[in-house]
Amino acid sequence: MSKKFSSGNLPTGRQGRQDKSSKKKSHYNKNRDNPKLETSDKGMRLNKYIAHAGICSRREADVYIKSGNVTVNGKIITEMGFKVQENDAVRFDNRLINPETLRYVLLNKPKNYISTVEDDRGRKTVMELIAKAAKERLYPVGRLDRNTTGLLLFTNDGEMTKKLTHPKHNVRKLYHVTLDKKLTMNHLREIADDSFKIEDRRVFVDALSYIENQPKSEIGIEIHSGRNRIIRKIFESLGYKVVKLDRTILAGLTKKNLPRGFWRHLTQQEINNLKMI
């Protein structure tokens, strides 16, 4: 269960070059006269169209389509596999939607920013940090609490968001934890044990170790649970205070060449890797 972490697992550096993504125009057959929109081999499947509009994943879109939430040119469409043609008017819950170029932006989040799109209390949000990253409306994938730093992904790809946040995919997340005092070996073993519980619920830690060549208050922990503040709760339950918490790896993405407060677009290879999860 225990796994060695070193400073090499926790990379930092200067800002990387931002990738320039170009829009690719899709070509469809026009068919404005037939309200059924004859499903030719060309065009985009309706569930994919909805996902590319940032509404939800394709699987969730299928449920909405079956439920009659989607219209094309004013006609309710419940047919699975239906294809949208160019210039068709697609509405979701009576709201006109359009597929967008899919964007993937990685941020090295600083402290004192909350991971929400907006805040009614006027606090700083992570959206301020990526305001110039894309003209499309992006959303954070998961959350980091206000005082947690490190990697946070943004996208308008609803299907990708669903995949990365669902526990069954075991998306790797590695954190560097700084405690107010040394973590005892007994407590380290207790946390790493499969029977460890927080609030009467078992917590499965994928890997846990002291960070090499650092004081024993510096801990590396790998976990895929998405429970709120779970890492802080783990150590607090044993009498420790988390002084710093930094996410250093997210789904294979690292902080290399990405200083605190800066963002970059994912490379095509990184996007392909995420799609293979």
Distance CA 160, CA 226 (A): 16
With respect to CATH, is domain 7-13+102-275 assigned 3.30.2350.10? yes
pTM of the model: 0.72
Average pLDDT, the chain: 85
- Segment 82-91 mean pLDDT: 92
Q: Do domains 7-13+102-275 and 44-96 have the same CATH topology?
A: no
Residues in the chain: 277
pLDDT confidence of residue 8: 44
| Percent of all residues in the chain with a pLDDT value above 90, rounded to a whole number | 62
In CATH, what is the architecture of 44-96? Roll (3.10)
List 145, 180, 200, 206, catalytic entry: 145
User: DSSP letter string over 167-201?
Assistant: GGG---EEEEEEESSPPPHHHHHHHHSTT-EETTE
Distance CA 277, CA 30 (A): 36
Distance CA 250, CA 238 (A): 26
The verdict on whether 120 is a catalytic residue reads no
Domain-wise residue ranges, the chain: 7-13+102-275, 44-96
Distance CA 211, CA 46 (A): 49
* Rg of the chain in Å (alpha carbons): 22
- Segment 38-60 mean pLDDT: 81
